[in-house]
Amino acid sequence: MPINTFSEEFYTAIHLHTDLSNQNMVEVINTYKQYIDQAVEYGMKAIAFTEHGNVLSWYNKKKYAEEKGLKYIHGCEVYVTMTLEEKVRDNFHMVLLAKNHEGFKELNKMVSNAFERKGNSFYYNPRISWEDIKNTSDNIIISTACLGGVIWQLHKNRTGSANSQAMLAEVVQWMTANKHRVFLEVQPHYHVEQIQYNKMLLNISEKTGIRIVAGSDTHALNPEYDKARKVLQKSKRIKFTDEDSFDLSFHSYDKMVEMFKRQGIFTEAQIYEALQNTNVIADMVETWEVDYSKKYPQLYDNPDEVFQKKISEGIIKRGINKLPHHEKLKYAERIKHELEVYKANEAVNYMLLEDDVKTYARSKGVRYGFGRGSVSGSIIAYLMEITHMNSIDRKLNFARFMSKERISLADIDTDFPPSQRPIVQDYLLNHPKLHCAKIITYNKIELLGAIKDVGRGLEIPLNEVAEISKGVEDNEQYYRDRYKELFYYVDLIQGTIVSVGAHACGIAVSPIPLDENMGLITVIDNKTKLPVTLTQINMKEIDAQNFVKLDILGLDTVETISDTVDMAGLKWEDILPENIDTEDEKVWNSIIDDNIGVFQWESDFAHQIYKDLFSNETIEKIKAVHPKFSYMDLFSLGNAILRPAGASYRDSVVQGEFYDNGHQALNEFLAPTLGRLAYQEQIIDFLVQFCGYSGGEADLVRRGIGKKDKELLDKLIPEIKERFIASMVKKYQTRNVVAEQISEPFIQVILDASNYGFSINHSDAYSAMGYVMAWLRYYYPLEFITANLNVNIGKQDKTTKLVEFAKSKGIALNGIKFRYSKAGYMFDKETNSVYQGIEPIKFLNSAMADDLYELRDKKYDSFVSLLLDIREGVDVIEIDGADGGVTKMSYKKFLASDIDKEGMKWINKMEKEEGIRLIGDGSVAITSRQIEILIALNFFSEFGGNLKLLKVFNFFNGTYNPKHKLKTKRERYTKALEFEMEAKEEVLSLVEQCTSELTFLGHIETVNPEMPPNILMMTEVLKHKTYTRAKAYQFATGETREFKMGSKTYAQVPFEEHDVIQIVNADVKPKNKKINGHWQPSPTEKEVWLKEIKFIRKGVSSDGE
């Protein structure tokens, strides 16, 4: 074959890796799009993706390749083990390519099974057994891959197996029998082993007739990216021997020819054949179409019948059957319409799925939000308790959720208490009738991560990298100019996928197996350390193929409402929108006083809007024009105008100003929103009521307007105008000329509203939750504050505001205290107090807290007697008597009582003969260190000062041992009681107390007004190159102060966290701010700069760290 034919040819990349191969280690920094774009430039007709052990994002790859005119080849470089019976780390490489759609499913299933951890499939890597390879169908095309492949590895006997040559012979024999779909992959790298391997493969090919095929094992787009990936690998301490001998870039046809010729192994004809066989493989692969049909899971054999039955049950449960006849007709008409739409959209099975999940949640005591998104517009969803929003009472819009005209997959999101979300997720993931998995997410290298990685890879000093990381956000160009090489690689590396995780909320739910149709991957959860199965395509890819996904969302508000309801002894039904008084002026006015805890209204900005909107002046204005005014309607409108899109009419609304739309009918229609089109659903309702569209048609028109497509608008606007004028003339007896005048400005209002319209279906449900929060806060403040504090543990700003609110209500917030504190915050009605919980304290836990709370009702006349219960937990001692009877007595009384010699003799005898039984609940699972922490934090303050109790505990702990004989325990218990009685009352010093609180609570609670205000304890120290920023606790006020100091001043007194200092001299200076892109002194903000300080005491962390 003449050499000049090469320049006219193209080949197919059959062995190629993107950054989706980085699951075990970082190997690639290029994306599939970069490779596809380059393949088009090379003139390729097809491209295969062969990630290490996975088929991640195969849909996106296929879609983009086909958009660019390339055939997509579905592949994977799998890890092969010769046996699953024993854990041998052979993990030989092999490339598998799907010949057709059946091969696609077969390969997906094999790859999914390779992650199985219960068997031996996963061992360092996801593995496929040689037996499974032999059982592949003709729908799978095989290439022998690289030097890590099964042939070379067995030939070199890398695993040290005694029968490696026999295995190799078996492999070659099987491949020969399947040479119609097996190829021997030769690669053009100038490495001694690769050259030897190519010679071996050529020899096998000549003997067996198995075809050779060219592969490059591509790991980089070009040499530039190849160098960048090596910098990243160096930072991760990843090193491959002799990698410099391998050129793993994405090569052109001519470059491949040149590299093969340099090896000096193949003839021109053989090179041509190997390259052309890549196209042979591409031609063998059949193009297949993605299934875009709706994939609703089916839980019942007769879904329509079950659906109808559940609706009927809902009518009774929700009390609709007890309404007046004319009201029932309204519901019947709406139900009939919705039922027709659900059936037309084939969504009955989806609603039954939602019902199944919600029914299970309720059976386990798991509550969920009143509604989220557009589903609140469905009365059937309300009847089935999928939502708690009565869309007829609240005038919500069903067409916004679903219509016959808009055929799309149903989608309902639900808010659950974050702590209970796993209950619902686990139910789905283990559902016997469903195929479910969590949805994958990708973790990418962000800017700061890229700076740190490249900094390590280029061996830039750590302090310089730290400085760049801290300053780059405010002054990026400065650092780019100064560190050009670093940012050159940062730009190449940033955005690289380095690992995968589980989407926090999303679960794919399918009627067909996910392992075949999506592919599954299993990872270890960082928190639970248990395997978690994920889809191999992401959320958008799942949506695109019309698979169902359920978002099991977590919302603190739902948790707070649920916990408050339980603490207050209410039923969940009591606070549902249909049962609670939403027009209670006392509740609405209470929000004017304080917005803490009111869902979606907690910012200062929102509170000011609320105070203006709900002021007496505004309310009176609204009532004058709109007598049927509703506080809840106004609250929902407020939620809409809080959004940035509501800015254009926000000021007018909060002043109660109505917008006159030029006609009474329009003004009445928009009266609840003060004459404004504030909601998307209002556009739909307008088009139905005033233009004669159906609900579904109106929603399509609304969506069309929102797209801002000029061609579409040129068609829709005249149509809307014509329909509007006709309707106004016929329905409202308006003169044609007047209707014409009204139409122009109102249609413009519609066009504007399509930009900012909020969803009333969503706003109303969320507003109801906001009101319920305020209602619970007003009528059950103690329970509400306790629940809210528990939900917001670790959120210091929110906790501070809750504490201030509690004080305003006369509720005391106390530290941890024995008998009152549990794991979380706990309230006490008798004292109108809330006590802090134990679990958030460093080194402590909930189990220990619950065990200690179980002791709350016991009487203790000493700290030692409590320590005895904690350490031993014995209530009663039983002693067998000589007469066959049994003596029972209090264990503590036994240990402390006088017993004569004869009595002790008998006790010793019975102890040896197991005639003594100690009865009780057992010891508390708590360590000595944990007890000391609790003592230091005054948990046991009812027994005395914390320093005294520490001494008592140390004496008891060093003396009393539950394993001792009874005689010894009696002696030592008595000594401990005497020690406690004689111990003098003492407490930790102020500094020691504050250090303990800072170490274990994370903040300081002790305040001493007698301390000078210039004496402070350092709580946070951040060192920069030219200055140090610090936070310190002011003993006298209990407040945290912030200040800076120059590096020279700091060098004189180099304080650390926990140190106590005295400020001798300080200046107040304008704070430097970036204004219009330039750093300059702020005209309003100031900061304190220390000029002179002194050490008072060198601090020591209480935990010894």
Q: What is the pLDDT of residue 435?
A: 98
Q: What is the pLDDT of residue 744?
A: 86
Q: What is the pLDDT of residue 8?
A: 53
Per-residue burial over 869-889, b if 16 or more Cβ lie within 10 Å, else e, is bbbbbbeebebbeeeeeeeee
Full-model pTM:
0.87
Query: How far is 563 from 791, CA to CA, in rounded Å?
Result: 9
Say if CB 920 and CB 874 are below 8 A apart. yes
Spell out the alpha helix ranges (H) of 780-821: 781-791, 796-808
Between the alpha carbon of residue 201 and those of residues 166, 265, 392, 503, 505, the distances in Å are 17, 11, 74, 44, 49
Between the alpha carbon of residue 1014 and those of residues 204, 622, 1055, 1069, the distances in Å are 85, 54, 15, 18
Q: What is the pLDDT of residue 216?
A: 93
Could you tell me the domains of the chain?
3-284 (3.20.20.140), 303-422 (no CATH), 438-556 (no CATH), 570-776 (no CATH), 808-990 (no CATH), 1004-1097 (2.40.50.140)
- Which pLDDT tens digit goes with each residue over 291-347? 999 999 999 999 999 999 999 999 999 999 999 999 999 999 999 999 999 999 999
Residue type at 286 in one-letter notation? E
pLDDT < 50 positions in the chain: 1-7, 1104-1105
Q: State residue 813 phi and psi, 5-degree precision.
A: -110, 115
Query: How far is 15 from 97, CA to CA, in rounded Å?
Result: 10
Residue 606, both tokens? 């929102």
Residue type at 567 in one-letter notation? M
Residue type at 888 in one-letter notation? K
Q: What is the pLDDT of residue 590?
A: 98
Say if CB 620 and CB 733 are below 8 A apart. no
Angle at 743 between CA 739 and CA 748, to 5 degrees: 170
- DSSP state for residue 758 in the 8-state scheme: B
Q: What is the pLDDT of residue 1105?
A: 46
Half-sphere exposure of 912 (CA within 13 A, CB side): 5
Q: What is the pLDDT of residue 1080?
A: 82
